[in-house]
Structure 1
Amino acid sequence: MIFYFSGTGNSAWVARQLAEGQNEELLSIAVEIDKNKEYKLREGEKVGFVFPVYAWGPPEIVLRFIRRLKMTKPEYLFFVCTCGDDTGRTAQLFSSVVARKGWRCAAGYSVTMPNTYVSLPGFDVDDEDVETQKVHNAVARVRFINEEIASRVQTKHYNCHEGALPFTKSFFLRPFFNTFLMSPKPFHATEACIACKKCEKACPVNNIKVTDRPVWGDNCTQCLACYHICPVHAVEYGKVTAKKGQYKGRLLKDL
C-alpha cells in the first residue's frame, strides 16, 4: 500500500512507478485524509509514503494524515520524497512522526525532480536542459529505489540529499516558512483568466472555487498546482511570479 501526495505531478509520477514496481495499491492522501477509515494490511504488505519536500520538510497534510492513520503496525515501511534541490532534515521529521505511532521507518530516499517553487524572489522553474537532465536521472533513481524496496532493504542512514545546513533549513527556516509564507492571500487571477476551472480541478485540497475568476480559501498547501496548470498564465502569487515560468511535467507524460 502506497500513500502519496502530489501537487504538480512529480510525486504522483514517482508513486505510480513504485506502485507498479511493488505491485501495491496506490492511494491519494488528499482523497483519503478525511475518510476516518482503518486500513487493513495483508501479511507482509509494504507501506510506503511518497511526497514532495516543502520548505525542507514533509507537507503538513502528509504529517497530519500519518498522525490520524489507523493501521496495524507495518512489517516494512518506507518513504520517498521528491525535491528540486535538497531535502534538509525531511527524513528526520518524517521518521519522528512515524516513530510516535510506534512504527519504524526501514528506508527512505529522495528523488531530485524539476523545480516547481516560484513563490519567492530567486526561485523559478528550471531551464529546459536542466529539467531534461533531472528527469533522465530520476528514471534511473526510481529504478534503483524499486530494487531496494523489493529487497526490503533496512538502512541505517536514509538515502536523501540533505544539502548544506540541513538542520538550519528544517528547524529554523522551515518554521518561518510555515508561519509567514504559506498564506494563499497573495494568489489572484489576472484579466487573462478564461474561467476554465483547471485550477479548481487541479487543487488537491479543494481550496479553489471559480465563478468569474478563481477564489482561494484558507486551506492551502502551497503546492502551486493552480499556478502551473493555468493555460494562460493568469494565476499569480502577488507580484513575485509575473515573469516566471510554469512547470508542465512535459517529459513525464512520455514516460
Structure 2
Amino acid sequence: MHKNVNIYVFSGTGNTLLVANKISETFNKNSYNSTVHKMESVKPQDINLNSTIGIGFTTAFWNTFPFVRTWIDSLPDGNGAETFLFTTMGDSSCAMIAHIAKILEKKNYKIIGAKGFIMPNNFLLVLNDAKNIARIEKNLLKAEEYAKGIINGNGYIKKTNIFSSLAFCISSFVTTKIWKTKLAKKIMKFKVDTKKCNGCGTCATLCPTENIEIKDIPQFKDKCIFCLRCASYCPQQALSNKILLKTYRAVNLKDMLWKK
C-alpha cells in the first residue's frame, strides 16, 4: 500500500463523509498521508494514480447517483493503482459495491477493499436522533476496522451473486435512464416556501450539479440528482417536494462545505 492515500468521496447528507473521514483518520494514525477530496471538485482524469486511491459514495436505489456513475465511468486507465471502495446506505445495497469494483477492475484498478456501511436512513423511515447516533457510532468502528484491514493487506471485498447482478442491472437502468426522465424530475422537483426562504444561497453552494441558481429565491434547473443536500442543509428549512417526508443531516453545515 502506498504511503500517500487520496480518498474521493461523494456524500449527499453526510453519512459517506463521516465514513471517509474515519477511514482517513485511521490511515493518518498509522503513519500514512491521507487526504479526503470532494468527488464533484475533482475531474476524473485528475485523480492521483501515484497513490492508493479510495472512492466512497452514497447508495441510491441499489446503485448510486447518476453523477457518481458518470464520474466512475470517466476515470482513466488505472494502470494497476491500488483502490478501495466504500458506500453508505440506509438498509441494503444488494452488493452494488462489488459491481462497481468490477467496473473499476476492467479499467485496470487493483481492488484491495470494497465494503458497505449501514448508516442512518436520510430519506424514508428516518430514525430518531438516539438511534441515528447509535448506528453511526457502530459503523464508524467498522470503518476503522476496514481501514486497518486494508493496511494489513486483508481489506474486506464484497462478492457478487446472481440476485445482486439482476438488481444491479435493473437499478442501473433506473438510475441512468428513468432517473433522467421528465416525469422523474417532476416528482423529485423541490418547491420553495417563499415565507421561509431568505435567499441565502446555501442550497446553490452545496448542489453538486450546479442545479440551483439564486434569483431572490432558488430557481431549480433540470439537473437534480436528488442527493437531498439542499433540503437537508437549508438553514430556513424552506425546501420540500412531493416525496420527502423528513430531512436528515449527518454532519453540520460547516463540515459539508469543506473545500478539499
| TM-score of the superposed pair, with normalisation by structure 1 | 0.81
Rounded to whole Å, the distance in 2 between the matches of 1:214 and 1:67 is: 31
In structure 2, the CA distance between the partners of 1:252 and 1:114, relative to structure 1 (3 Å rule), is farther
| Shift of residue 170, structure 1, vs aligned partner | 2.9
Rounded to whole Å, the distance in 2 between the matches of 1:88 and 1:56 is: 6
In structure 2, the CA distance between the partners of 1:82 and 1:39, relative to structure 1 (3 Å rule), is same
Q: Which moved further from structure 2: 168-177 or 54-63? A: 168-177
Q: 1:110 aligns with which of 116, 139, 145?
A: 116
Q: 2:82 aligns with which of 76, 79, 83?
A: 76
Is 2:176 the counterpart of 1:175? Answer: no
- The aligned counterpart of 2:39 is 29
Structure 2 SS opposite 1:116: coil
- The aligned counterpart of 1:233 is 237
Structure 1 SS opposite 2:127: coil
1:126-176 deviation digits (Å, cap 9, x = unpaired): 222321221121221111112111112255x5189x9xx645543325533
Rounded to whole Å, the distance in 2 between the matches of 1:206 and 1:92 is: 30
Structure 2 SS opposite 1:12: helix
| Shift of residue 106, structure 1, vs aligned partner | 2.4
Higher helix share: 2
In structure 2, the CA distance between the partners of 1:72 and 1:246, relative to structure 1 (3 Å rule), is closer
| Shift of residue 56, structure 1, vs aligned partner | 0.8
The RMSD of aligned alpha carbons is 2.8
Rounded to whole Å, the distance in 1 between the matches of 2:224 and 2:43 is: 15
- The aligned counterpart of 1:188 is 191
Rounded to whole Å, the distance in 2 between the matches of 1:48 and 1:253 is: 23
| Shift of residue 89, structure 1, vs aligned partner | 3.0
| Shift of residue 40, structure 1, vs aligned partner | 4.4
| Shift of residue 70, structure 1, vs aligned partner | 3.1
- The aligned counterpart of 1:2 is 7
Q: Which moved further from structure 2: 60-69 or 214-223? A: 60-69
| Shift of residue 14, structure 1, vs aligned partner | 1.4
Q: 1:39 aligns with which of 32, 45, 48?
A: 48
- The aligned counterpart of 1:11 is 16
Structure 2 SS opposite 1:105: strand
Rounded to whole Å, the distance in 2 between the matches of 1:55 and 1:178 is: 11
In structure 2, the CA distance between the partners of 1:248 and 1:62, relative to structure 1 (3 Å rule), is closer
In structure 2, the CA distance between the partners of 1:52 and 1:168, relative to structure 1 (3 Å rule), is same
Is 2:156 the counterpart of 1:152? Answer: no
| Shift of residue 46, structure 1, vs aligned partner | 1.6
Between the two proteins, what is the percent identity of the paired residues?
21
In structure 2, the CA distance between the partners of 1:5 and 1:159, relative to structure 1 (3 Å rule), is same
CA contact under 8 A between 2:231 and 2:247: conserved in structure 1? Answer: yes
Mark the runs of 5 or more structure 1 residues left unpaired by the alignment. 118-122
Rounded to whole Å, the distance in 1 between the matches of 2:132 and 2:74 is: 36
Rounded to whole Å, the distance in 2 between the matches of 1:177 and 1:37 is: 25
Rounded to whole Å, the distance in 1 between the matches of 2:125 and 2:103 is: 31
| TM-score of the superposed pair, with normalisation by structure 2 | 0.79
CA contact under 8 A between 1:95 and 1:104: conserved in structure 2? Answer: no
Structure 2 SS opposite 1:175: helix
Structure 2 SS opposite 1:39: coil
CA contact under 8 A between 2:52 and 2:82: conserved in structure 1? Answer: yes
1:162-213 deviation digits (Å, cap 9, x = unpaired): 9xx6455433255335533454442221222221211111112221111122
In structure 2, the CA distance between the partners of 1:94 and 1:173, relative to structure 1 (3 Å rule), is closer
Q: What is the number of equivalent residue pairs in this alignment?
A: 238
Structure 2 SS opposite 1:24: strand
- The aligned counterpart of 2:30 is none
Mark the runs of 5 or more structure 2 residues left unpaired by the alignment. 1-5, 28-32, 256-260
- The aligned counterpart of 2:250 is 249
In structure 2, the CA distance between the partners of 1:176 and 1:236, relative to structure 1 (3 Å rule), is same
